[in-house]
Chain A
């Protein structure tokens, strides 16, 4: 439910929210036994079936045979888990974490990407059972190896052993594929993808949502529209 690290929304007090949720829960449980009962095959007519009696009406609600079947097109939404095996090695993950933290380092507002598990998300992403993930895996693996090779050429060390200044020297060459020199374009595309994935992984955590000051996903008793300060900011008052 409510993300504990999200700042309390300005337009609602917590007591109101609890009241709304309690009312909703009561409504839901009231309705629970009244959903469509699932008839089984008693109404089926065989071949040559003659005039038959009127159908039995649903006297007592039968518990619905509903619920997820746990297949890939019908997963359990309430207990979700990415079950596929993860493919990046421990060594690759360490290099990846160092790069993620060059993209999103800790600052006064929020922690670094690796501190909130971003490399694990990227591993989940590139290991997924889809064609696009296979392509991403090749790009990410190739990029991570390139980082170490390039670090070796420039500084005779692996990427993780570089100083921030040394890492910055490499990242500056690959941080924008549209303006990268030809010899860095492939690495820059890798960097673009890692930056997008790092941002996705980071800003969907509690810390990331708090950093952006996202407020929402909480039940409200009523909807008021934007507060006066917002309207003023937009020149709408």
Chain B
């Protein structure tokens, strides 16, 4: 836990100080305590880096926590909101809502992300048979990957249809923190905070479920309700993450694996670790994307996929074809 906190602190510092225009720690402190709007360094810090930092904290915490819940629920290391198409469902709903209302992707349209995420998750579990048990973990991952591809094609199609700028398309196709200043940070932070409380409350039930359905019932857990609550929480978390950072994949894959190694098997401990590790990895990916190819910028979603792809292969290799989900 201490290691996770240290990582998060380091990532936050990097996110504030590093970029195409480096800012010294002294200047950063001055900008935060006594902002001077005539100093360009202060302006960069306050209008660019700070919103990006906030978006990274919100989306990273949300996706990391969603990954831990999904993995605890399905006991499938590949079950992740990005790969299962939940993020894509949220992005599609926002883009479709923006097209239907003709008012862009601001305001209430962004709230479409929540029903979108929920619908995609219901669909992937229906097709992949993830909650019944007895189904191979490969099937859920495959069904998710295909649903993700389908929903992403639809996002691309709709955005091309609107014939707007390429930048809009890229945000809803590959997540990034670069649009942070224009995203609804406050509202989504509130959603994530509420979901974190909900997750901590449902954690003991998930711990019991990990012992098996019958054992959990014997311990007094209302299993159907616990599963429903957990899935609703995942949808809320994924929706909030997509609303601030677009669809970012693989974070929910890497974080639970790391959290398990750092914090052991207990759900609450894993959730706590994930709340630190998720933002730390996302912010580090964002910082790396900012400096790796100057003067251009690589999206945080591309950077997480670059690390996450090999992690996916590594996890997939460990699954046995006949293993139960």
Say if A and B assemble together. Answer: no
Using a CB–CB distance below 8 Å, which chain B residues touch chain A?
Answer: none
* Chain A interface residues (CB < 8 Å from chain B): none
